[in-house]
């Protein structure tokens, strides 16, 4: 194995280490987003009416209606 081969391999290793670090940061970011989604309650509603233009009127548990 030549010195040139070793340098190429070292560059590849460094590139993979950088990619690994970026992916680990991305995973942590997704974990935070997922944890946040688990904390906030989701609103459950039902479709009251579908309008001719495709919009819908939705009502949800507190009694509000949303267009």
Number of H helices, E strands in the chain: 1, 3
What is the 8-class DSSP label of residue 42? P
* Residues whose CB is less than 8 angstroms from the CB of residue 47 and which lie 6 or more positions away in sequence, other chains included: 56, 57, 58
1-5, 18-22, 42-46: which has the minimum mean pLDDT?
Answer: 42-46
Residue 60 has pLDDT above 60, yes or no: yes
Q: What pTM, to 2 d.p., does this model score?
A: 0.55
- List Cβ neighbours of 50 (8 Å cut-off, separation of 6 or more): 56
Query: Which structural domain, as residue segments, surrounds residue 16?
Result: 3-66
For CA atoms 57, 58, 64, 67, the dihedral sign is negative
Q: What percent of the chain has pLDDT over 70?
A: 87
């Amino acid at each position: 194995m030549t010195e040139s081969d070793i340098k190429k391999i070292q560059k590849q290793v460094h590139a993979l280490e950088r990619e690994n670090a970026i992916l680990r940061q991305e995973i942590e970011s997704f974990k935070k987003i997922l944890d946040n989604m688990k904390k906030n309650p989701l609103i459950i509603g039902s479709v009251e009416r579908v309008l001719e233009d495709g919009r819908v009127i939705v009502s949800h548990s507190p009694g509000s209606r949303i267009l």
